[in-house]
Structure 1
Amino acid sequence: MFGSELPMQTWLSNLSNIIPGLKHSDFCIPEKINPGTDTYLVPSPDKQDLQFHFPVIIKSGIMDTFPLPVSASAGAVHAIIEHCKKTSMKDRKIGLLHGITTSNQSRYAVNTEPCTITSSRSNIASNLWRADDLNTVVPGGIKLGIRGAIPNLPVNPGNISRVVTILYEYIESMVNCVNHVPEGLIKKEWEATHDQQVLRKQLAKIGLVCFIGDGTRPARRYTRHRSWYRIAGPKDGVHVPFYCPTELSPVEIYLKGSNRTITGLGIRKGEIFAITGSNAEGKSTLLQAVLAGEDDHAIGDGRELVVTVQGGLMPDATSIELKGDNLAPFFDSLPPGMSGSPSSAYGQGSGSASMASRISGALRKKSPYIIIDEDRSAQNLMVPCYMSSSEIHALATLVRNSRELLSDTSLILAGSGMELLIAQADRIIRFSNHEAQALSVTMYREGLSRHYDLLRKMIPEKDPGEERSHLPVGIMIKKQSVSNISTDGHHA
């Protein structure tokens, strides 16, 4: 009878029959789990494989071995996870991590994709296996989200028993791998994360919003699973490191965790710091490293010595819907098609209006820093333009006439074309052949003035065609009519 039909059996619905078989004296599944979220065993979209994820608590005395703060333990977890990823490529016992027994291992390459972020307040790189809330140090051990894939099987008692055996042996082998991670590696990564977190807290006390350590390698290598600069790994091959020019007074920092002293560039609270140079020299790349400095990075990432305070902003000119957004002090009146007032604008914002809203919001919230990348900015909002309305005030004009608008917010900008904005900077570095060089602000301003003198000479004098354009309309029509009649009296 239809009313007596049993519900369809699935692997997910049989978790209660599987989890009890995954207990061991050295590991266990925690009592509190979220089936379908942090605990699952489900078919792949094509039904070929069974994809799984189980939170596993591994008993360990790691906290006793390394008396370092738990707040920085993400570095230790990172070292453990990356060691397991590498080992899985040569040890079949934990090859399920990348689906070694399936017919499509490339599908699970994301499980072994390296990750060089140890911790972040942002929910980034969530597709990667990395230290986070599901992979962390817990009282009495380490909690890891053990994942992987096996060939799909029909749901029946015999296969349930078989899958339990497969998963148990896999988890047992993974635990064995975890227990063989070199202690020195765990300690170094833990210390590196601790160094970054401590320095980030100290920056405000020493009047900085960012520190870029000498030897930093900010250029990135993008992959299928790490296609954003924030999570991308270090560039391969030739990679010119950053060193603070001596003219910019390098800052000396002592790192207590690793017990060493480093030097580098300190970007000061409330200053305008400009990065300039020709195309493809690494200006935007350094800006991206500054923003990524809000995260903690592993040794070898290239940005582990870039530390930035939290809460900065990199506004761009992407058009957004404005809903009571503040466009002041950039706009004295609203552009056509918008309603409200400059302090409370409504409607679809242009690139410049949208960027003005973002910058105004950051200043109102007293963000510690604002990053301006010329390549992503509305040029007519950055520098005054000849054809711009007098009711629109460019950022260069605002900081020139009302520097107090920035208050304690640092303005970090990079570009070569927004010269009038760069001219307002307190300090400037120039990239040449990818190397950072100090550039005197006075020399830059004097050189820019001479450059503008040359540009004036490029402006043509009166165009001969203008004489005709100034004639009364009736005369112009008559002349056009005559010129369109051929010598035989017919229209051409």
Structure 2
Amino acid sequence: MKSETELKQLLYSIDHKGYPAYKGTRGSYRFGSYELSIDHVQGDPFAALSKLSVKVAGRTAGFPGRLYDTKYKRIALQDYVTRQFAAQAGRYTFQAKGSGKSGIISVTRCGQEVLERTSCTIEERTGDVTVRFEVGFPANGRTINARELIKILYDYLPACVEKSMMYKELNAGKVEKVMELSVDREFIREELKRLDLAAFVANGSILPRESGVSQRPMKDAVAFVSPGSMEVTLELPYKGTLTGMGVKKGITLIVGGGYHGKSTLLKALEAGVYPHISGDGREYVVTDSTAVKLRAEDGRSIKHTDISMFINDLPNGKDTNAFYTEDASGSTSQAANVVESLEAGAKVFLIDEDTSATNFMVRDELMQQVIHRDMEPITPFIERVGDLYKTYGISTIIVAGSSGAYFQVADEIIQMDRYVPKEITEAAKAAAREYPSLELPGDKPEMPEFKRFVRSNPDLKQKGRIKIKTLGKDGVQLNHDTIDLRYVEQLADAEQLTCLGHIVKYMEEHMMDGRTTMQQLIEKLAAQMDSSGFKVICEESYLPGNLAMPRKQEIYACLNRYRRLGTR
């Protein structure tokens, strides 16, 4: 490893030379209390930024072991360090001058969720802390401006490292609170299992968001208060007594007038699969970690999926035991989403009537009389939801605003009244008895067999190097093939989509052999990433700093929407 002095001498020697001379700076350098690595150098001042990392040895960083001795604590601390480094870097970005992207210091912008990311990693055994970031190497035109880069690396960067990666420089009380919140939240998640709950929403939670484009809590919003009949009180390790609404496993219906908070509650439950930062308002909203939001998705592709549980005897004679289409309807797409979520191990379904296919969700009594069951290929979800829970242990939480049909099958009914939940199960059931009861089919749904064998896309490999491009939270491209992920609503961050791109690329190059099922493929990869992290899918000598870990359920969702995927 070279010294910081050698790097400075090198920079002075290439000052005013052509921009490609910056390539010679790649390598690792000792900077007193930390190690600086220049992992990738941009090709010109207007290209994607150069990739750097800083590593501080555990004994120098000084974080007490109790702050990172479990995976969930470590992820919380990594998130905190990332945010602190980003705050410091923000003070210096563009302070160094030049053309193009000169002087940018870019670090992951974390949202409200606490995600496992490559932007910061803490070694479990040694406590070594590494932060990955990007820098626009300064230039005048296309000529190296080394003196401005020296400012970044020798003046600005040491201050960022000192004030974000050294425990002694941080607010110890705040760091401790980060750890305590992670422990309390994990405790709630374990309590869900013990108490047979699908979700928990603490009293005092702020569920409404600031706006459609901001996930920050709404100011002056109505704080959540549980109905008395649904109250659960927990004794958390650090926060102590916490009371809130426990949503039991089974079938839960959320009803109420428009704009009274039904979808807001469901959105909070969707996001409850992730931890959230202090001050978010949803810190103590915890949902079963496998929960999946289901919706209709007109136009998506479906690859040999067994949707016969819901759709059979199609007029065109298509096989619904291995259904294939490049342009799914609302009902077939939602049926496929249900079955694919079963394959992904989901134990809770989250459904909003507003984004569902009506004919998939319910057929009312009049329609059943006019169009006889023998003439209708769709078995609506309402006729399967009870058996999904009783036979397979799959709970469902449904938002309904226009149809009362689900009153008859729901185990628990919540009415949202001006953002205040009320438990109205008995009253709603009594009202439902005044109406004709649903005619349910006599057959019981059989769990589909998940035996879709996956092979790679030969056209993709023939094009040489597979390039990945992330389209925000809309999708990801592998070369020119786009995987549309707009309606996978629990993807919280664009960096998760970037990670999904790397996952599909890795699977294409190393795992898809035509003899392995999709389920075997994903379960194997998920287990590898759970134990070894991001390096499993990154073949470069360095980790990029722009990846965030998706859940296993989103890996399934991504592959299922990959139009060029070979299946049989």
| Greater C-alpha radius of gyration | 1
Partners of 1:25 and 1:391 lie apart in 2 by 71
Q: Distance in 2 between matches of 1:438 and 1:172?
A: 56
Residue 304 of structure 2 is matched in structure 1 by 324
Query: What are the superposed Cα offsets for residues 85-136 of structure 1, whole Å, 9 maximum, x if unpaired?
Result: 44555xxxx422x66757899x97985855322225xxxxxxxxxxx23302
2:130 maps to 143
| Counterparts in 2 of 1:437 and 1:327: CA distance versus 1, 3 Å | same
Is 1:116 paired with 2:116?
no
The 3-state SS of whatever aligns with 2:64 is helix
Of 126, 130, 139, the residue aligned with 1:152 is 139
1:69 Cα deviation from its structure 2 partner: 2.3
Q: CA separation in 2, counterparts of 1:437 and 1:281?
A: 12
1:349 aligns with 2:328: yes
What aligned pairs does 1:31-430 form with structure 2 within 5 A after superposition? Answer: 35-36=39-40, 40-41=41-42, 43=44, 45=46, 51-59=49-57, 60-64=60-64, 66-71=66-71, 72-87=73-88, 94-96=91-93, 101=97, 111=107, 113=109, 115-120=111-116, 132-138=117-123, 139-149=126-136, 151-153=138-140, 159-160=145-146, 162-178=148-164, 179=166, 180-221=169-210, 227=213, 233-248=215-230, 250-256=231-237, 258-269=238-249, 271-319=250-298, 320-334=300-314, 336=316, 339-340=318-319, 342-347=320-325, 348-363=327-342, 367-385=346-364, 386=367, 389-399=375-385, 402=387, 407-430=392-415
Task: Give, in whole Å, the separation in 2 of the partners of 1:335 and 1:303.
Answer: 47
User: Is the Cα–Cα contact under 8 Å of residues 79 and 185 in structure 1 kept in the other structure?
Assistant: no
The residue matched to 1:23 in structure 2 has which SS?
Answer: strand
Q: What's the TM-score once normalised by structure 2's chain length?
A: 0.63
Is contact 2:82–2:119 with CA below 8 Å preserved after alignment? no
Letter in 2 for 1:64: P
* One-letter amino acid matched to 1:246: G
Q: Which amino acid aligns with 2:32?
A: S
Tell me which amino acid in the other structure corresponds to 2:207.
Answer: P
- Count of paired positions: 403
Per the alignment, do residues 167 and 54 of structure 1 end up closer, same or farther by CA in structure 2, a change over 3 Å counting? same
1:247-286 per-position Cα deviation (integer Å, ceiling 9, x unaligned): 22x1222222x251212122223x1011111112222222
Taking every aligned residue pair, what percent have the same amino acid on both sides?
A: 21
TM-score by length of 1: 0.72
Q: Does the aligned pair in 1 maintain the 2:119–2:132 contact within 8 Å?
A: yes
Q: CA RMSD of the aligned region, Å?
A: 3.4
Q: Where does the alignment leave 5 or more consecutive residues of structure 2 unmatched?
A: 1-16, 437-568
Question: For each residue in 1:48-90, what CA deviation from the matched residue of structure 2 results, as whole angstroms up to 9, or x when unmatched?
Answer: xx8343111124444337555242123223333333444555x
Q: CA deviation at 1:25?
A: 1.7
Output one character per residue of 1:418-453: Cα deviation in whole Å (capped at 9) or x when no partner: 3212431111111111111111x231133356689x
Distance 1:11 1:430, change over 3 A: farther
Query: Residue by residue, what CA displacement relative to the aligned partner does 1:383-408 show, whole Å, maximum 9, x if unpaired?
Result: 114166444221223346x4666521
Give the unaligned 5+ runs of structure 1: 1-8, 121-131, 453-492
Q: 1:424 to 1:371 in 2, by over 3 A?
A: same
Structure 2 counterpart of 1:77, which letter?
Q
Amino acid at match of 2:422: Q
Q: Which amino acid aligns with 2:293?
A: M
Task: Compute the displacement of 1:11 (Å).
Answer: 5.3
**Structure 2 vs 1, CA of residues 311 and 65 (structure 1 numbering), >3 Å: closer, same or farther?**
closer
Contact 1:287 1:371 in 2 (8 A): yes
**Structure 2 CA distance, aligned partners of 1:422 and 1:103?**
64
